[in-house]
Chain A
């Protein structure tokens, strides 16, 4: 009896190994993604539903994606994830293929703001769609509900003398110039002319005088919040930051400012070297399902493009991050702001 069982088990294992190797031989879909974008259980479900095997490689930085894709001229991967600010660079270098949106049934069901892709800045070029948005987060404002009344609606509250020394801002020139430009009402916060730059700089010097400190990591902001009298936090880490603060019992809420909140947006794109375009489309469509979207937000705290999350209400104005006119200049001017007594 025991022998028979052992035999059966051996046979099953053998069969399993055989299937695995044959699947690998039959050209798996090659996915390059950030951790959290291609969890093992989704991959399993996808393979079960479509019969397509998947090999996932995880990356840790924008530079790494570029190095991997550019290094092989797109030949090493079929589908990968990249944000809107980066995508144009890939299009220009001819490393990605246009996507036929009609093949993606789930794209019709996404949240209203992502339905018309021509309205999402950065994912199209010359009328062709290159990126399918699927994960995002806004950079809004965290406020202490006990200290800030009434609830703020604009980033201009950061300049309010009533909160002098109770504001935490983020230590990054690029973002600070962009959001201040939005607060000043400039149309394109990523392309500022000389005059606008000077105005933003003056405004940032004013901001600095209202600020307690500039933080860099979410943990750091949380620690400062716990040990000091903080009322407002410019939330570079969005929902993750809010949830972490609420977890330690802080009475905080989150708002996307009315002038528009900066927001990052990650997209699935199909590489130039794709081996099986239909398989890549199936992957993207699968990632746009309500189940994966919901689980993605639950697990990472980021917003997804399919179901409503705390990252943005339906009417919130989001401004997708883009490349800025001159990062070096912004960084230098940010140092000047910090050096101003």
Chain B
């Protein structure tokens, strides 16, 4: 009796501690930094030092300066394109994986995910040398007779960013699509077959709708990762591939204008949060209707 009485408060204290920690970690490491960030976006900079007076100047500048909105919009279009291309390429790949039996399925899936183990920067370097004028892609196209002479179409422009981001982010699209395809109960497909539906009818009316949650989360993953990236545009974007991430980066580096950089980040965060919400909502609706 007395024993049980003494362990119970200790246990309760422990569980209280765990609860506090569980709440404290995200608050301290996520919410507080975000709040500080938001706070900074209302400050300004004068002669290289931050002025701690609240103003909306940074946001006014973002919406009125002719530089930022066009770049912002172009970047969003670019990242939506990356997401679409990733989905178009990843869906068949994921679908193919689900048709494989047993061990092969996971062995191939692992192979597709291996690039994630490599350093991001090294991958960009490698892709850049492939895309270059003397690079593998040009050499191959010329050797095959598709091009007369090496082309500069593939590197140091928007195409290069599009290609590189697609290549880097495709594993993030394959995984969620694969998981949603794998979760589709085989009985549904067999029932469809029993009722006389053709292969394409089954795909269009059963498989595709049921896999859309995976597609939605894949698209939002890729979009969010692409729009937050500044290194890829910096390294392969050249002179015409100027993205919002590069502007943001410069505010924290050379410009030393943290408040304005914070305001630009808030604008970016709004878009990112919207993308995540859309992806999540779309995904959940379809998911629960099964």
Contacts and interface: CB of A to CB of B under 8 A. Distances in A.
Interface of A: 165, 171-174, 208-209, 211-214, 216, 220, 223-224, 226-229, 327-328, 331-332, 334-336, 338-339, 341
Nearest to B253: A331
A-B interface, 4 closest residue pairs, ranked by CB to CB distance from nearest: A227-B132, A331-B255, A213-B238, A228-B133
13 contacts: A173-B254, A209-B239, A212-B238, A213-B237, A213-B239, A216-B234, A228-B134, A328-B256, A328-B257, A331-B254, A331-B257, A335-B67, A336-B67
Given A338-B239, A339-B242, A228 B155 contact: yes
A214 B133 contact: no
B239 A223 contact: no
B152 interface: yes
Contacts of B257: 328, 331
B19 interface: no
Interface in B45-78: 45, 48, 67, 70-71
B254 A172 contact: yes
B246 interface: yes
A241 B256 CA distance: 27
A172 B253 CA distance: 10
Contacts of B275: none
Residue of B48, B128, B239 ringed by the most chain A CB atoms within 10 A: B239
Interface of B: 45, 48, 67, 70-71, 125, 128-129, 132-135, 152, 155-156, 234-235, 237-240, 242, 246-247, 250, 254-257
Given A227-B129, A227-B135, A228-B134, A208 B254 contact: no
A223 B129 contact: yes
Given A328-B257, A331-B250, A331-B254, A226 B235 contact: no
Contacts of B129: 223, 226-227
Nearest to A169: B239
B67 A339 contact: yes
A334 B133 CA distance: 27
A169 to B, nearest CB: 9
A328 B234 CA distance: 20
B254 A229 contact: no
B135 A332 contact: no
A186 B226 CA distance: 42
Nearest to B255: A331
A338 B133 contact: no
A331 to B, nearest CB: 4
A243 B240 CA distance: 30
B48 A211 contact: no
B141 to A, nearest CB: 15
A166 to B, nearest CB: 10
Contacts of A338: 239, 242, 246
A226 B134 contact: yes
Contacts of A172: 254
Contacts of A209: 239
Given A328-B45, A335-B67, A339-B70, A227 B242 contact: no
B247 A339 contact: yes
Nearest to B68: A339
B234 A224 contact: no
Residue of A208, A216, A223, A332 ringed by the most chain B CB atoms within 10 A: A332
Given A335-B250, A338-B239, A229 B134 contact: yes
Contacts of A173: 254
B48 A328 contact: yes
B284 to A, nearest CB: 38
Contacts of B156: 212-213
Given A226-B129, A328-B45, A331-B255, 9 more contacts: A211-B239, A213-B239, A214-B238, A228-B134, A228-B155, A331-B256, A334-B254, A339-B242, A341-B240
Contacts of A327: 48, 254-256
A214 B132 CA distance: 15
